[in-house]
Structure 1
Amino acid sequence: MPAPSGNARVYISDVSVKCGKTDSKVIYSAASMPDRAYIVVSKESPAVKPGDKVTLNISLSGDIDGISAFAYADLDMDGNFEKVLCSSKKAKDSMSVGIKVPKDSRQGKIRVRVRYTSDLSADGADTPVRDGKCYDFVLYVVD
């Protein structure tokens, strides 16, 4: 887990998830900037099935000038973020992150990490977050 020190100027204000043909569901919402740099979002985590196509629709608030966006996934549930879902040197007000749940997934938790930072050297999933925010989302794989 990164050791955030963040003084981010940007934060996630809303995240909805769409799984297959189901309607989007809001899984996270914040009216103001969180007081910490590392946020785990698991309370409203969606259940997904092997082979599902999942989309996280993310809205940002704050000053995005000079902010980079990164998203990673731990699809094999081994604790390492092996899949880069998004790497953008210029964040936008909103972004969609697509995740394909592997067809051979076992039951368990797939973690998706979304990071915003002005520190371009912090482009790895587990590097410290300076001047940024790091969010971990959980997808529960079920049969």
Structure 2
Amino acid sequence: MRASPAMRILRAAVFAAVCLTLSAAGHQVASGAAPPVWADGTGFLAVLALGYLLSARERSLLGIGGAMLTAQGGLHLTFNAAQAPAQRLHAISTPMGMHATRMMAHPHPMIHAAAAHGAAALLASWWLRRGEAAL
């Protein structure tokens, strides 16, 4: 059964809000600085468009998880690119920024980041799938 355009935009908006909230909060915790508002807005619109394209039918947990990881990766790259060099220096001087700098010195920082993104995506995907099934 195909979803109506109104239902599709509602589902896409919830998906975009969850993705953006997870990514922006994670970025702020890791770097010590929130992404710029324009990057939040751009990211939300991009994920909203992706979510709308994928919302024509009910998605499985694996499908939602794949879209969630893709969206988080894109938002991660957008937020890093949007952060001005001066903000990066300020972020390093904060306690969380210093922690993030020490983490980068760790031999396997990507493993920690991938594990955090994976865990967040799995939890959010499960939550979104439950909502999808209830709807």
Normalising by structure 1, what TM-score? 0.29
Tell me which structure has the larger Cα radius of gyration.
Answer: 2
Instruction: Give the TM-score normalised by the residue count of structure 2.
Output: 0.30
Judging by fraction of residues, say which structure has more strand: 1
